[in-house]
């Protein structure tokens, strides 16, 4: 059961791995979540901490998690079993895989509902947003949230799309989907930036995101920014480990992960600039929360020449970005069912998708019928988001850093991370000291133990 399986599918090339991993990383986190979190967390303060977390925690962990997947050659739970045994350690390290595969499903339940919003806006955009004002844009979004059946219908469609790709398999489904969708996404984000430069308030957006006002850094900002650095790079949820397990031995983990982190960060910053340029040009509120992009972009599309074409195209690409991420959220658990419980891929994908779909219905209802349902003062949507992003991901990341940095034998690590001399030492030092200490310090800071 816990032997490395050398007959698993593999990505067709190094480029394919970069593409699918970037596909997982780049998603709603960049285009929907990053702008609104930046807006609600004081702009540049959030951006600064987020960037620091990407460099000191995110990138080293991205490499570590890919390494564990490739070395373990199995779904996240099995892979952790293999690498732990190789290091002479017990089965309990599989907990990393377990936190991952279950956390990924929790994320998928709300991710799919939000992707459903984008599907709705793709449709709305084809009709154009003629005569839209900031009031009617806000009302339009509120109207969607108040409509449980519509939310559930879109969520259902998105889950079917996700299951459909995962059911088709690693190279035939996941890789193919990414090859088509990712290049298109890059093009359209650049286009939107161009629009922002020409017609919206780009200098104000720059100031808001990059004037680095250190005094605005609060506990909540730090906690949110750390959580988001995990979310945006898909860390700690088995997605990267699962994708790494389909990676060939010969491919450089360092180089590929580096490209992925750069691409992910670039898309987030570009999306943020484009959105805030519109926000400030139109006098909208940066801190309007999860509806931010849905209340700003329609206004831009309504005024842009050719907006009826660009609008739907843009939202469609956000759907694509979400789709290439959602398949990476479903795959780890599906791989577990296939390898551990002998499910066929098809059955595993539909069964897992069905369970996530049910939970997603609760998320959809939390915006309307069940808006009063609270736990720890949070509604179902906020609870799932906070639990996964702020707690499960950093916890899993901490365990990965400790395992890869301290528990694995150095020669095994070196064998996987083909990085000469100084580079290797720098990565390993960061993974052993900087990342775990930063994560623990932030946790302690949040619960008030350290200032």
| Cβ 337 vs Cβ 84: under 8 Å | no
| Cβ 34 vs Cβ 270: under 8 Å | no
Residue 73 touches which of ligand PFF, Na ion, none (CB < 5 to 8 A by kind)? none
Our CA angle for 46, 255, 248, nearest 5°, is: 125
| Cβ 188 vs Cβ 32: under 8 Å | no
| Three-state SS at 378 | strand
Residue 107 touches which of Na ion, ligand PFF, none (CB < 5 to 8 A by kind)? ligand PFF
Does residue number 25 form part of the binding site for ligand PFF (CB under 6 A)? yes
Q: How far is CA 417 from the centre of its chain?
A: 24
- Which stretch, 19-27, 189-197, 356-364, 367-375, contacts ligand PFF (CB under 6 A)? 19-27
Least distance in Å: CB of 190 to ligand PFF?
18
Does residue number 61 form part of the binding site for ligand PFF (CB under 6 A)? no
Least distance in Å: CB of 26 to Na ion?
5
Residue 217 touches which of Na ion, ligand PFF, none (CB < 5 to 8 A by kind)? none
Our CA angle for 231, 383, 350, nearest 5°, is: 70
Least distance in Å: CB of 275 to ligand PFF?
15
Instruction: List, in order, residues 6 or more apart from 143 with CB less than 8 Å away.
Output: none
Residue 375 forms beta bridges with which residues? 378
Among positions 315-374, residues that touch ligand PFF (CB under 6 A) are 325, 328-329
Options 23, 27, 35, 307; binder of ligand PFF; rule CB under 6 A: 27
What size, in residues, is the chain? Answer: 451
Least distance in Å: CB of 28 to ligand PFF?
4
For ligand PFF, the closer CB: 304 or 384: 384
Residue with tokens 């739907």: 312
| Cβ 243 vs Cβ 327: under 8 Å | no
For ligand PFF, the closer CB: 234 or 430: 234
| Cβ 101 vs Cβ 390: under 8 Å | no
Among positions 249-308, residues that touch ligand PFF (CB under 6 A) are none
For ligand PFF, the closer CB: 94 or 428: 94
Q: Measure the CA–CA gap between 268 and 104, rounded to whole angstroms.
A: 21
Long-range Cβ pairs for the range 361-367 (8 Å, 24+): 361/152, 361/155, 362/109, 363/109, 363/110, 363/113, 363/155, 364/113, 364/116, 364/148, 364/151, 364/152, 364/155, 365/148, 367/145, 367/146, 367/148, 367/151
- Which stretch, 121-129, 207-215, 231-239, 275-283, contacts ligand PFF (CB under 6 A)? 231-239
Interface residue list for Na ion (CB under 5 A): 25, 29-30, 232, 264
Among positions 99-118, residues that touch ligand PFF (CB under 6 A) are 104, 107
Does residue number 239 form part of the binding site for ligand PFF (CB under 6 A)? yes
Does residue number 232 form part of the binding site for ligand PFF (CB under 6 A)? yes
For Na ion, the closer CB: 201 or 264: 264
Does residue number 379 form part of the binding site for ligand PFF (CB under 6 A)? no
For ligand PFF, the closer CB: 103 or 196: 103
| Three-state SS at 434 | helix
Number of residues that bind ligand PFF (CB under 6 A): 16
- Residue number of the CB atom closest to ligand PFF: 29
Among positions 35-54, residues that touch ligand PFF (CB under 6 A) are none
Q: Measure the CA–CA gap between 30 and 267, rounded to whole angstroms.
A: 6
Q: Measure the CA–CA gap between 404 and 409, rounded to whole angstroms.
A: 9
Residue 378 forms beta bridges with which residues? 375
For Na ion, the closer CB: 234 or 366: 234
Interacting residue ranges for ligand PFF, rule: CB under 6 A? 24-25, 27-30, 104, 107, 231-232, 234, 237, 239, 325, 328-329
């Amino acid at each position: 059961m816990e032997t490395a399986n050398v007959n698993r599918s593999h990505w067709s090339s190094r480029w394919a791995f970069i593409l699918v991993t970037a596909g997982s990383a780049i998603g709603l986190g960049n285009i929907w979540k990053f702008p609104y979190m930046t807006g609600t967390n004081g702009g540049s303060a959030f951006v600064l901490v987020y960037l620091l977390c990407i460099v000191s925690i995110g990138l080293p962990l991205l490499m570590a998690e890919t390494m564990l997947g490739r070395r373990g050659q199995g779904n996240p739970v099995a892979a952790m079993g293999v690498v732990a045994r190789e290091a002479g350690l017990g089965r309990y390290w599989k907990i990393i895989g377990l936190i991952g595969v279950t956390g990924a499903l929790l994320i998928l339940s709300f991710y799919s509902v939000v992707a459903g919003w984008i599907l709705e806006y793709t449709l709305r955009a084809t009709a154009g947003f003629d005569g839209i004002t900031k009031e009617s844009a806000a009302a339009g979004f509120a109207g969607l949230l108040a409509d449980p059946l519509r939310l559930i219908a879109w969520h259902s469609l998105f889950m079917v799309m996700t299951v459909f790709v995962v059911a088709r398999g690693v190279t035939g489904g996941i890789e193919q989907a990414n090859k088509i969708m990712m290049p298109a996404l890059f093009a359209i984000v650049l286009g939107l930036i161009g629009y922002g430069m020409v017609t919206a308030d780009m200098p104000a957006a720059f100031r808001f995101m990059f004037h680095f006002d250190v005094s605005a850094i609060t506990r909540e900002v730090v906690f949110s920014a750390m959580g988001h650095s995990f979310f945006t790079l898909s860390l700690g949820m088995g997605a990267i480990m699962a994708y790494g397990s389909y990676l060939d031995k010969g491919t450089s983990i360092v180089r590929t992960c580096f490209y992925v982190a750069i691409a992910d960060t670039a898309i987030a910053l570009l999306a943020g600039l484009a959105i805030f340029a519109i926000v400030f040009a139109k006098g909208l509120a940066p801190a309007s929360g999860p509806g931010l992009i849905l209340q700003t972009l329609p206004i831009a599309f309504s005024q842009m020449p050719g907006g009826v074409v660009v609008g739907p195209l843009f939202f469609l690409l956000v759907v694509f970005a979400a789709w290439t991420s959602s398949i990476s959220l479903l795959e780890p658990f599906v791989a577990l069912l296939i390898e551990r419980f002998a499910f066929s891929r098809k059955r595993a994908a539909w069964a897992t998708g069905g369970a996530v779909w049910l939970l997603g219905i609760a998320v959809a209802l939390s915006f309307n019928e069940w808006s009063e349902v609270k736990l720890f003062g949070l509604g179902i949507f906020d609870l799932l988001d906070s639990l996964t992003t702020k707690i499960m991901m950093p916890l899993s990341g901490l365990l990965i850093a400790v395992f890869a940095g301290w528990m694995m034998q150095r020669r095994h690590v070196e064998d996987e991370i083909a990085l000469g001399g100084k580079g290797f030492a720098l990565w390993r030092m960061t993974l052993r000291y900087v990342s775990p200490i930063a994560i623990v310090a932030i946790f302690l800071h949040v619960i008030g133990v350290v200032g």
